[in-house]
Structure 1
Amino acid sequence: MGENRVDAVERALLILDAFQEGRTSLSLAALAQETGLYKSTILRLAGSLERFGYLARDDRGVYHLGPSLWRLGSLYRRSFDLEEHIRPELRRIVEATTETAAFYVREGAERICLYRLNSPRSVRHHLEEGTRLPLDRGAGGRVLLAYDGCPGEPYEDIRRTGHYTSLGERDPEIAAVSVPVFDSAGRLRGALSASALLGRFGPAARRGAIEALKESAARLRTSLL
C-alpha cells in the first residue's frame, strides 16, 4: 500500500491535523512548528484548502478550520444512523444525573465523541462533538477496548460487570462511568458515558449514573437494528 499515497495530499492533511482541542486558531509560524513544513509549502497548500472551504484565514493572517469540515463531520455522524436513537438517551442520562453525557465510537487507536449533551450546571465537564480522545485512558475508551476483545485487566472485569469507572484517569479533575451499547443483533455500536468533576461524582452519584446508563443501553439494544 506504500505506493498508494500522494505527498501533497498528506502534507495538506498534516496541516488540518495540527488543529486540536484548545488549538483552533493557528498562525503560519505555529503551523510550521506543528507540522515541520516550510512556511512557503504551508502557504501553497493552505491556499487550496481555503478555496475548498477546509481552512479560513482572518484579517490577522491567523488560520481557522473552515465550514467544509463541519459539513463532512455532519455527514460522518449521520452515516452511523444512530442520532435519532442516541440523543434522546443522552437527555435522559443528563436529566437523571445532571452531569455531561456522551456517546463514543472507536476509530483506529482513538475514540471519537460522536454525540454529547453537556451538563446544565455552570461548572461542568464540557465536551465537544468530534473530540478525539485516547482509547487506553478514560471510561469510554476502556469500555470500547474491552468489548473489542482486549485481554487482561481491567478489561476482563469490564466484561464481567458491564461498566467501567474512571477516576482522574485521563484528566485528574474528571471522573466518568461508561457502559457498552449493542444493537439488536448483538453488535457493539459504541459506549455511553457520564462524566463530572471528580469532587462531586462520589460513589452514590456514580452508582446512580451507572444505573441510568445501563437503562439507556438496554433501550438502545431493542431500538438499534
Structure 2
Amino acid sequence: MDRAIDILNAFRWGDEGLSLTELANRTGLHKTTILRLAVSLQSSGMLTRTATGEFRLGTNILKLSAILRASQRLDREVQPFLERLAEECRESASLFIRDGDARICLVRVEAEQSVRDSTRRLVPMALDDTSAGLVLRGLRGRGAAPSGGPFSPVFTSGVTDPETASLSAPVYDAEGDVVGAMTVSGPAFRLTSEVAEQHGPKLSAQAEAFSATLGYRPDVSPARGAVPVRDVSTSRRPRGGTR
C-alpha cells in the first residue's frame, strides 16, 4: 500500500503524464514493481496509461479531490445559508452530515424563538427516521412542498421526541451525491405539517443554493435513489437523537 501511494505521490503539479522511467526515478522503485502496482491502481481508477505508455492520474483521483474540497467547505460556507434560513423560518437551522451509521450536526444556527431542543454540535446521533436521518440515508419520507424535485423537503414530527419536529432537504455535491441534510427544527406545536409546507420552498431554495456552491449542477442526476414514500410522523422513541 505504501509503495502504491509513493507512485501517486510521484506526480507533481503540471505533470500531464510520466513514463515508467520517470516514475522509477522519482519513487526509487523497480520498474517491475511499478508495473505490478499499476495494475491495481488502474483497476481502481487511480491511474491510467496512455497509448504511448505514459502513466496519468485517473478519474477517481479527481473525484476524491472534489469530495475533499466539498467536505472542507461544508462547515465553512454553509453558515450564511443557515442564518438566512433561520431568519426566514424563525426556527433553528442546522446542517447534518453522515458518519457511518451516525448523523452529526456539523453547523447550527439557533432560532430567535424559544425552543426545546437537545441537539448538540459534533455529537454522533442515531441515523434514525428523523427527517435528517431519512435524507442522509437517501430515503423519501413525508413531503413538505407542493412540488417534487431533488431538493424536495421531508417532514417528520415526534419520531424520537413527541415534542419536536423537523424539516430536511438534501445537499448535493458535484457528483450528485448527498453530502448533508439541511434542517429546520422546532417544537412540534409550532412546526406543524401546515407550517412545514410554508417553510418547504424556503428550505429547498437554500439547499439548492448551497449545493450550487459545492459544484452541483441541475443537469447532474442526483445519486439519491427512488424509494417508497414513508410517513414517519409518529411518536416513538428509538435510540439516540431528537426530532
TM-score (norm 1): 0.56
What SS does the aligned partner of 1:206 have?
helix
Verify: 1:93 aligned to 2:89, yes or no.
no
The equivalent residue for 2:170 is 180
Q: Using the alignment, how far apart are the partners of 2:201 and 2:116 within structure 1?
A: 21
**AA partner of residue 186 (structure 1):** G
Task: Evaluate the alpha carbon distance shift between residue 196 and residue 155 of structure 1 in structure 2; reply closer, same or farther with a 3 A threshold.
Answer: closer
* RMSD, aligned CA: 2.8
**Identical positions, percent:** 28
Q: Using the alignment, how far apart are the partners of 2:101 and 2:149 within structure 1?
A: 20
Deviation at 1:127, TM superposition (A): 2.9
Count of aligned pairs between the two proteins:
143
Contact 2:117 2:186 in 1 (8 A): yes
Verify: 1:168 aligned to 2:158, yes or no.
yes
Deviation at 1:185, TM superposition (A): 3.5
Structure 1 stretches of 4+ moved >4 Å: 153-156, 158-161
The equivalent residue for 2:76 is 84
Q: Which one has more relative contact order, counting CA pairs under 8 Å at least 6 apart?
A: 2
Task: Evaluate the alpha carbon distance shift between residue 79 and residue 165 of structure 1 in structure 2; reply closer, same or farther with a 3 A threshold.
Answer: closer
Task: Evaluate the alpha carbon distance shift between residue 131 and residue 206 of structure 1 in structure 2; reply closer, same or farther with a 3 A threshold.
Answer: same
Deviation at 1:191, TM superposition (A): 0.5
TM-score (norm 2): 0.52
Verify: 1:217 aligned to 2:174, yes or no.
no
Deviates more, 1:160-169 or 1:195-204: 160-169
Contact 1:178 1:193 in 2 (8 A): yes
Identify unmatched segments of 5+ residues in structure 2.
1-69, 216-243
Verify: 1:129 aligned to 2:133, yes or no.
no
Task: Evaluate the alpha carbon distance shift between residue 155 and residue 205 of structure 1 in structure 2; reply closer, same or farther with a 3 A threshold.
Answer: closer
Q: Using the alignment, how far apart are the partners of 2:93 and 2:78 within structure 1?
A: 11
Deviation readout 1:141-174 (Å, 9 max, x if unpaired)? 1111126xxxxx7499x98883211110021110
**AA partner of residue 91 (structure 2):** E
Task: Evaluate the alpha carbon distance shift between residue 124 and residue 211 of structure 1 in structure 2; reply closer, same or farther with a 3 A threshold.
Answer: farther
What SS does the aligned partner of 2:105 have?
strand
Q: Which has the greater radius of gyration?
A: 2
Deviation at 1:124, TM superposition (A): 4.0
Query: What is the aligned counterpart of 2:193 among 203, 214, 222?
Result: 203
The equivalent residue for 1:120 is 112
The equivalent residue for 1:140 is 132
Deviation at 1:80, TM superposition (A): 2.7
